[in-house]
């Protein structure tokens, strides 16, 4: 604060500087989660209390929604209803694969229902997040139900994370029940798989760190946009690092397990991601283009 009258006054100055620094840091967190204070509140002395109160209320509501959604999903996964729903599509698919694919018992067991379950489950996450995004975009039903966009983002995040975990679990179960290929069980393949897995994990985790929870889980559909689209690593390497990284990690897992079925499932996962991007990318580009035009108009008015 620039006031040095004595030891006691200096300590008061340091404490005040620390509290103001905490206020600025809390406000940056609020901007990240889509919550803002008014300009008059931001300039006033009670700024710290206003910021902390809004941040606490938003996070508590989000955590309650996340806990409720996770509990509901856990109960659904523990019941046989989910298995029956998957088998409703997986069993006919298994029969169709068995009838159409050539017989290659040494590499692929087309009659295995676990393989068909994994194929069906791989389609579910892109359908879920595109469906939830369109539902919120056109009806605002999720925001109305949760009362706050931030809470809606966390609730959608819980659902998307749950179906993604389910997909990965069924992916692993399919590999365990399928034949292994000796040609893939080689040191060179294992080394390549390890490097691929590390790079894929770096893309996935890097994208998550750049976007945060709001940017990852449909925040743009709730109107919680960033100032600009992220262009730093890993987005400077690939356009969709989270999707590509996830595909690489699953492919690396399949190679380490020497599973031809796992390789095919990883390729299927990559294809499903690409189809999802067809619906997702134009919307994201349009939203940030409109935001850029609006920001430019505001700057022109001020000038």
* Binding residue numbers for S-adenosyl-L-methionine: 198-200, 280-281
Beta carbons of 261 and 115 less than 8 angstroms apart: yes
Q: Cβ contacts of residue 179 below 8 Å, gap of 6+?
A: 105, 106, 107, 108, 109, 260, 261
- As given in the structure block, the two tokens for residue 177 are 């029940």
Residues annotated in the binding site, as ranges?
Answer: 198-200, 280-281
Joined tokens for residue 26: 């809390």
Distance in angstroms (rounded) separating the CA atoms of residues 95 and 118: 15
Q: Which two tokens stand for residue 77?
A: 């996964």
- Give the residue from 217, 213, 209 showing the smallest Cα distance to 234: 209
Inter-axis angle of helices 47-78 and 80-100, to 10 degrees?
60
CB atoms under 10 Å from CB of 198, counted, come to 13
Phi, psi of 108 (to 5 degrees): -150, 130
């Amino acid at each position: 604060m620039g006031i040095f009258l004595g030891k006691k006054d200096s300590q008061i100055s340091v404490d005040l500087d620390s509290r103001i620094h905490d206020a600025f840091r809390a406000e940056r967190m609020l901007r990240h989660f889509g919550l803002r204070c008014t300009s008059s509140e931001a300039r006033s002395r009670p700024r710290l209390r206003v910021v902390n109160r809004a941040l606490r209320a938003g996070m508590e509501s989000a955590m309650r929604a996340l806990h409720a959604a996770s509990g509901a999903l856990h109960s659904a996964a523990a019941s046989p209803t989910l298995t029956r729903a998957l088998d409703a599509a997986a069993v006919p698919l298994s029969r169709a694969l068995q009838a159409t694919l050539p017989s290659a018992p040494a590499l692929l067991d087309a009659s295995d229902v676990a393989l068909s379950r994994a194929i069906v489950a791989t389609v579910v996450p892109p359908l879920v997040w595109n469906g939830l995004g369109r539902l919120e975009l056109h009806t605002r039903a999720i925001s109305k139900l949760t009362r706050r966009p931030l809470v809606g983002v966390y609730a959608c995040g819980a659902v998307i994370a749950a179906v993604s975990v389910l997909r990965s679990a069924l992916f692993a179960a399919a590999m365990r029940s399928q034949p292994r290929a000796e040609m893939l069980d080689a040191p060179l393949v294992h080394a390549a798989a390890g490097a691929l897995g590390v790079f894929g994990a770096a893309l996935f985790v890097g994208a998550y760190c750049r976007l945060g929870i709001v940017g990852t889980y449909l925040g743009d559909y709730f109107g919680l946009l960033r100032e600009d689209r992220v262009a730093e690593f890993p987005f400077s390497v690939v356009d969709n690092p989270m999707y590509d990284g996830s595909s690489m990690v699953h492919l690396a897992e399949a190679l380490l397990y020497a599973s031809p079925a796992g390789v095919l499932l990883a390729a299927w996962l990559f294809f499903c991601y690409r189809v999802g991007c067809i619906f997702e990318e134009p919307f994201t580009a349009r939203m940030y283009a409109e935001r850029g035009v609006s920001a430019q108009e505001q700057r022109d008015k001020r000038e």
